[in-house]
Amino acid sequence: MTTPRTPLIAGNWKMNGLQGDGRALASAVADFLKSQGAANFEMLVCPPFTLISAVHDALAGSGVKLGAQDCSTAAKGAHTGDISTDMLADAGCTYVLVGHSERRTDHRETDELVNAKAVAAHTSGLNAVICIGETEAERDGGKTLDVVKSQIAGSVPGSATAANTVVAYEPVWAIGTGRTPTIDEVQDVHAFIRSELAAKLGQDVADGIRLLYGGSMNPGNASELLALGDVDGGLIGGASLKPEDFAAIATSCPA
């Protein structure tokens, strides 16, 4: 039996936006979701840490969820520059991205570290959006499924449930490039991810976990990506900075 999964349209703002931009963008997303009434999708925005407070205020009462882009594995203490999951929850976040490929590349984050960040998120009552995906060289070498398999084995903790975890598949070579895998490739990788999650966490949990596609999703390709059986939303970078594009992607979710 397949559990219904409400599509999640998530915006990763990355390192973009000053206070005024963040407030304006969040207000536009909030107004859009409010205008939808009973929407058949959920929306999430993940601003940089410096905008979380302003975005939290701008989203009040809208139903748009708030997330951070990273977290510490430590609960508190002498970790200069880090932000704990309790701090994020206290600031109004209910989600946190962990293991984005830009963190894996820029900060050499390993699967083990990403796993510990997901556990920290769960411990603080946050949803972890665990990001995985192969590089172009790995893809060209025919290793996509091997890479995804080992990232799931290493990055997804045993504490993952449908209520506290989302997995985002983002082929590294598709991020910010305007290139995407074919529709069939996206569905095949997502189905494989779900089968790997089932082997690790049980079929019921795997059937409930939302799987997002990320990498150059835009209003032009969102409909066919979001219609795929194992794609339960999108993790959107560039297009999430344009409120009209982000809204158009959301309204592309199948009814």
Q: Report the catalytic residues.
A: 100, 170
**Contacts to ligand 13P from residues 96-155, by CB under 6 A:** 100
* Residue whose Cβ sits closest to ligand 13P: 237
Nearer to ligand 13P by Cβ, of 201 and 212: the residue is: 212
Nearer to ligand 13P by Cβ, of 83 and 132: the residue is: 132
**Residue 96 · residue 70 · CB < 8 Å:** yes
Kindly state whether residue 67 participates in binding ligand 13P, applying the rule CB under 6 A: no
Kindly state whether residue 214 participates in binding ligand 13P, applying the rule CB under 6 A: yes
168 beta partners:
131, 212
Closest distance of CB 181 from ligand 13P, Å: 12
Closest distance of CB 69 from ligand 13P, Å: 9
Measure the N-to-C terminal CA separation of the chain; round to a whole number of Å: 20
Q: What x-and-dash track marks residues 165-184 binding ligand 13P by CB under 6 A?
A: -----x----xx--------
One-character DSSP codes across the chain: -PPP---EEEEE--S---HHHHHHHHHHHHHHHHHTSS-SSEEEEE--GGGHHHHHHHHTTS--EEEES---SSSSSS-TT---HHHHHHTT--EEEES-HHHHHHS---HHHHHHHHHHHHHTTPEEEEEE---HHHHHTT-HHHHHHHHHHHHS-TT--TTTEEEEE--GGGTTTS----HHHHHHHHHHHHHHHHHHH-HHHHHHSEEEEESS--TTTHHHHHTSTT--EEEESGGGGSHHHHHHHHTTS--
**Contacts to ligand 13P from residues 9-48, by CB under 6 A:** 12
Closest distance of CB 136 from ligand 13P, Å: 14
Kindly state whether residue 217 participates in binding ligand 13P, applying the rule CB under 6 A: yes
**Residue 132 · residue 113 · CB < 8 Å:** no
| Residue from 47, 67, 99, 238 in contact with ligand 13P (CB under 6 A) | 238
Closest distance of CB 121 from ligand 13P, Å: 16
Q: Residue 96 is encoded by which pair of tokens?
A: 């946190």
- Total of residues contacting ligand 13P (CB under 6 A): 14
Nearer to ligand 13P by Cβ, of 99 and 157: the residue is: 99
Question: Helix 52-59 vs helix 19-35: angle between axes, to the nearest 10 degrees?
Answer: 30
| Residue from 228, 235, 247, 249 in contact with ligand 13P (CB under 6 A) | 235
Nearer to ligand 13P by Cβ, of 157 and 238: the residue is: 238
| Residue from 124, 187, 216, 221 in contact with ligand 13P (CB under 6 A) | 216
Q: Rule CB under 6 A: which residues touch ligand 13P?
A: 12, 100, 170, 175-176, 214-217, 235-239
